[in-house]
Structure 1
Amino acid sequence: MSNTLLVASLTLRNAYLLMRHGHSEANRQGRIISSPARGIDSFGLSARGKQEVAETLSVWRWARPTRVVHSDFLRTTQTAARVAEYFGVAPTPDAGLRERGFGELDGGEDTRYADAWARDAKDASHENFGVESVDTVAERMIEVMRRLERRHEGEVVLLVSHGDPLQILLAALAGVDLRHHRDRPPLQPAEVVSVL
């Protein structure tokens, strides 16, 4: 897929911040939790993750968000709720920001991420192990931004999502070949980056 085509129709009238959720129970247990069946009601923030979010807020150096939009998984919902409360805005869930689906790897050890990422480096459209392809993740993440662009103008939008989807989105926005989305250092738990 051409990243040029992917982002060509994306004319930005808003500013965007991207935030990865804080350290989660899934991280603590070393498990891949990518399905809505497991992730929406379970595997929220760990005690460490709650502290990470609080630390990020205590040293906030980015623009003040006027909108907080988040994945509906528990770990991102809890992260977004803390940020939204801090800034006095209402958080809005959006399923388009969900974790990348890892198919048959879901529920297993997080060391298996490397198996999917090795395939990603060869083919961004692969669905080995039943994983959601990198191309598909990029399309749905960009679509979230397109919807926000149609509805709002002049806002500072904080998107709270997961490590892999955010890394893929950053690659897409930068025009990087999506097979190389792992070349960029991954966002750390509760890390925020500004884009565009």
Structure 2
Amino acid sequence: MKSNSTVPELHQLRNHYLVMRHGHSQANAMGLVVSSPEHGLSGYGLSAKGEEQMSRRLAEWHLAAPQQILYSDFLRTTETAQRVADHFNVPLNPDARLRERFFGEYDLHPDHVYHDVWDMDARDPSQPLKQVESVHQVAERLCALIAELEQRYNDTTLLLVSHGDPLQILLTTAAGRPLNEHREISPLAPADVRPLIAR
């Protein structure tokens, strides 16, 4: 198993990062894995439950207000980010590095297959099996985004709107934990937001 040394470390960040998972989506309601741009960019947006979650989240927002929003360009994350941007009247920018983890042959399968992938992750987070994007690949693209933002901004509160697995992996990386433990980090529920704290 590879160590975290192959992935850029996150420490001494000069910006303030919040991470947010999209609200409950039509894919969640249908119990489907929707991870490919082919299906996720134009379909499977927020469900009625997700819209309600977003209204509640914004009404109860207790963290710093974001000054910039970056988001996955999948429909469910786009709709989530737009709600936040409208609420705080701040700019937002899509970034493909925040997209859902690609689940390869499991795309459009029932979502119970996530557990099969997570079992594979625990054994080897660097090995992409069944065309699934590996944990290391996800960590690398997210850390590259953070590194770029660190060069572009200073002392800015940035909100990153993404998906469950990518955010789990980013939080694990920031905590300095082995990537095969990414499912041991407390997961973000739909529409949850949390500070990204690098250790």
Q: Is TM-score (shorter-chain normalized) higher than 0.5? A: yes
Number of equivalences: 196
Asked if the contact 2:32–2:109 (Cα under 8 Å) also holds between the matched residues in 1, the reply is yes
Residue 156 of structure 1: aligned partner: 157
Asked if the contact 2:71–2:98 (Cα under 8 Å) also holds between the matched residues in 1, the reply is yes
* Residues 10-31 of structure 1 deviation map (CA, whole Å, 9 limit, x = unaligned): 5422100000000000000000
CA distance in 2, matches of 1:63, 1:157: 10
Normalization by structure 2: what TM-score? 0.95
Q: Is there any run of 5+ residues in structure 1 with no aligned partner, and where?
A: none
Asked if the contact 1:7–1:173 (Cα under 8 Å) also holds between the matched residues in 2, the reply is no
Asked if the contact 1:4–1:175 (Cα under 8 Å) also holds between the matched residues in 2, the reply is no
Residue 40 of structure 1: aligned partner: 41
- What displacement does 1:5 show? 5.6
- What displacement does 1:186 show? 1.3
- 1:109 matched to 2:110? The reply is yes
Asked if the contact 1:80–1:91 (Cα under 8 Å) also holds between the matched residues in 2, the reply is yes
Map residues 95-134 of structure 1 onto 2, 5 A cutoff.
Answer: 95-134=96-135
CA distance in 1, matches of 2:10, 2:194: 22
Question: RMSD across aligned C-alpha pairs, in angstroms?
Answer: 1.2
Asked if the contact 1:14–1:149 (Cα under 8 Å) also holds between the matched residues in 2, the reply is yes
User: Residue type of the partner of 2:148?
Assistant: R
Q: 1:69 aligns to what SS in structure 2?
A: strand
Residue 77 of structure 2: aligned partner: 76
- 1:62 matched to 2:55? The reply is no
Q: Is there any run of 5+ residues in structure 2 with no aligned partner, and where?
A: none
Aligned-pair identity (%): 49
